[in-house]
Amino acid sequence: MFPVTRMRRYRINENIRDIFKETVIRTEKLIMPVFVDETEKDKREIDSMPGIYRYSLDSYEDYIKYLEEIGVKNVILFGIPAHKDSTGSSSYDRNGIIQRAIRIAKDNTRLNVIADLCLCEYTDTGHCGIIKDNYIDNDATLSIYQKEALSYADAGVDIIAPSGMMDGQVKAIREILDKNDYKNTIIMAYSAKFASNLYGPFRDAADSTPQFGDRKSYQMDYHNGNEAIREVDLDVKEGADIVMVKPGLFYLDIINRVKSIYKMPVATYSVSGEYSMIKNAIKSGLLNADARDEALTALFRAGSDLVITYFAEEYIKDH
């Protein structure tokens, strides 16, 4: 075939390379995480996540208006409550931090508002469910998730994102939403969420470090790929509208497998550890600034339709 086929013809200059670019990052497909803190009076930078802040409700309102102005279309909300207890009761309080944040966003912007649904920020144990005999009681936890989901829907949320990795959580949430005439509320399930080493900065951000043990009895073993597909399959059958793989860059093979098998929207959460590694490497000069875009492109090239990333604000502002 040589020299008839010369692959370098596709790369001869930037204009030509643009013609043949296979994967393009569309800004409307990026989701910006936002931490809203009931105990803050203004905003405070998270030490382990340069450029990312915890916001008081007042500063949060200004921030989401700014995000909309620069072109952000989607946010996912995480709450830090003033009160924590064994049942995570603040998670389903009508006037809880996330419920108020949802209403503020819906009243003041046209953003798509996603709310993470879990208990780790709201329990005094830092675990994602109700503890009985030093073990997460799966079914007791589901009833709390239902209350939380209903309170989010009442507040006007667009998408509910259950992240606790409890068996049956999607079915339980879909049933309570449909029963209360929230049939159009979308569920974005954290379907294949791995017990990863990349969550450390998030736990600083959300005050959600487990007070004992770890989350390996409910989050997935990172050695397992087939198990991830089974988890996704169950969520699809239970009524998930979007399935998710979390984390992102260490799990490109899982993203690709999920997208190949299920012809439905696939989200990826590029987690705090990924952000902090790339951000700090760029700041220190170890990586070129384009490493950010390369990392985001990899997630979409693997098959992601949506990407939750702490780089969303920065990327959209730059483009």
| Residue 128 in marked binding region | yes
| Residue 175 in marked binding region | no
Q: What is the pLDDT of residue 214?
A: 81
| Residue 274 in marked binding region | no
Catalytic residue among 73, 193, 259, 279: 193
CATH number at residue 187: 3.20.20.70
Q: What is the pLDDT of residue 206?
A: 66
**Per-residue pLDDT in tens (0 to 9) along the chain, 319 residues:** 788 999 999 999 999 999 999 999 999 999 999 999 999 999 999 999 999 999 999 999 999 999 999 999 999 999 999 999 999 999 999 999 999 999 999 999 999 999 999 999 999 988 899 999 888 999 999 999 999 999 999 999 999 999 999 999 999 999 999 999 999 999 999 999 999 999 988 877 766 777 777 888 899 999 999 999 999 999 999 999 999 999 999 999 999 999 999 999 999 999 999 999 999 999 999 999 999 999 999 999 999 999 999 999 999 999 9
Domain contains 301: yes
Q: What is the pLDDT of residue 140?
A: 95
| Residue 190 in marked binding region | no
Domain contains 281: yes
Domain contains 14: no
- For residue 246, indicate whether it is catalytic: yes
| Number of folded domains that form the chain | 1
| Residue 59 in marked binding region | no
Q: What is the pLDDT of residue 200?
A: 86
Domain of 308 in residue numbering reads as 25-318
Domain contains 146: yes
Q: What is the pLDDT of residue 298?
A: 98
Domain contains 271: yes
Question: What does the H/E/C string look like for the chain?
Answer: CCCCCCHHHHHCCHHHHHHCCCCCCCHHHEEEEEEEECCCCCEEECCCCCCCEEECHHHHHHHHHHHHHHCCCEEEEEEECCCCECCCHHHHCCCCHHHHHHHHHHHHCCCEEEEEECCCCCECCCCCCEEECCEEEHHHHHHHHHHHHHHHHHHCCCEEEECCCCCCHHHHHHHHHHHCCCCCCEEEEEEEEECCCCCHHHHHHHCCCCCCCCCCCCCECCCCCHHHHHHHHHHHHHCCCEEEEECCHHHHHHHHHHHHHCCCCEEEEECHHHHHHHHHHHHCCCCCCCHHHHHHHHHHHHCCCEEEECCHHHHHHHC
| Residue 118 in marked binding region | yes
Domain contains 5: no
Q: What is the pLDDT of residue 212?
A: 75
Q: What is the pLDDT of residue 10?
A: 96
Domain contains 12: no
Catalytic residue among 29, 73, 84, 246: 246
Domain contains 4: no
